């Protein structure tokens, strides 16, 4: 199974630990982080697939920067949808991916660094669902031109 799927499965596993009792914060925090990295690795791996030399793809995937990916995703998430009905379905799916990326990244940052925040199982389940929905949306549009443009823009290029 692909690494990004493993990360989502791991996030689900962590979020359901200790049921029916209260979850441990450490499990919830690591689950949020795993959900974000599931989507992060899906996108960077997809971008790296476009690199011609297979033995350099892992190095290529490491060139992505979280901040630049957020800037790009935020821009995609907030831009108006195309009026072209043929493109609106694809654009809507891409907006879902980009918007989920921004939200999951913020959640991951909070989960990893802000110990004042208390997480609940519902919050974490919702984050995992966002990651899963974004991955499903991506699988439907991954070969389209705007999805491929997005991958390139994630590097911070214009």
Is 82 one of the binding residues for other proteins (CB under 8 A)?
A: no
Chosen residue from 9, 45, 74, 148 binding other proteins by CB under 8 A = 74
| Secondary structure (DSSP) of 133-158 | HHHHHHHHHTTSHHHHHHHHHTTT--
Cα distances from 133 to residues 25, 125, 127, 152, 156, in angstroms, run: 24, 12, 10, 22, 24
Minimum CB distance to other proteins, residue 129 (Å): 4
Question: Is 118 near other proteins (CB under 8 A)?
Answer: yes
Region near other proteins per CB under 8 A, out of 51-59, 84-92, 109-117, 139-147: 109-117
Residue 116's Cβ-side half-sphere holds a number of Cα atoms within 13 Å equal to 0
Q: Which of 17, 51, 89, 133 binds other proteins (CB under 8 A)?
A: 133
Place of tokens 């443009």: 149
H or E element that contains 88 = helix 85-113
Segment interacting with other proteins (CB under 8 A) among 29-37, 45-53, 71-79, 144-152: 71-79
Q: Does 92 bind other proteins (CB under 8 A)?
A: no
End-to-end CA distance of the chain: 33
Taking CB under 8 A as the rule, does residue 83 contact other proteins? no
- Asked whether position 21 contacts other proteins by CB under 8 A, the answer is no
Taking contact as CB under 8 A, which single stretch among the options 28-36, 81-89, 103-111, 142-150 is the one that binds other proteins? Answer: 103-111
Conformation bin of residue 68: beta by default, left when phi > 0, alpha when psi is -120 to 50: alpha
Q: How many CA atoms lie within 13 A of 13 on its CB side?
A: 7
129 lies in the site for other proteins, by CB under 8 A: yes
Per CB under 8 A, residues contacting other proteins are: 22, 67, 70, 74, 77-78, 102-103, 105-107, 109-110, 113, 118, 120-123, 125-126, 129, 133
């Amino acid at each position: 199974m692909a690494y990004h799927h493993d990360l989502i499965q791991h996030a689900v596993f962590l979020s359901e630990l200790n049921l029916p009792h209260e979850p441990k914060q450490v499990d919830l925090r690591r689950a949020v982080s795993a959900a974000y990295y599931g989507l992060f690795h899906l996108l960077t791996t997809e971008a790296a697939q476009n690199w011609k030399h297979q033995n350099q793809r892992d190095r290529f995937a490491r060139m992505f920067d979280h901040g630049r990916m957020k800037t790009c995703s935020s821009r995609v998430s907030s831009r108006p949808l195309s009026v072209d009905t043929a493109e609106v379905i694809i654009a809507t799916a891409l907006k879902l991916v980009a918007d989920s990326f921004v939200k999951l990244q913020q959640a991951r940052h909070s989960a990893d660094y802000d110990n004042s925040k208390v997480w609940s199982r519902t919050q974490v389940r919702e984050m995992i669902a966002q990651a899963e929905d974004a991955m499903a949306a991506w699988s439907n549009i991954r070969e389209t031109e705007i999805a491929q443009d997005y991958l390139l823009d994630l590097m911070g290029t214009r």
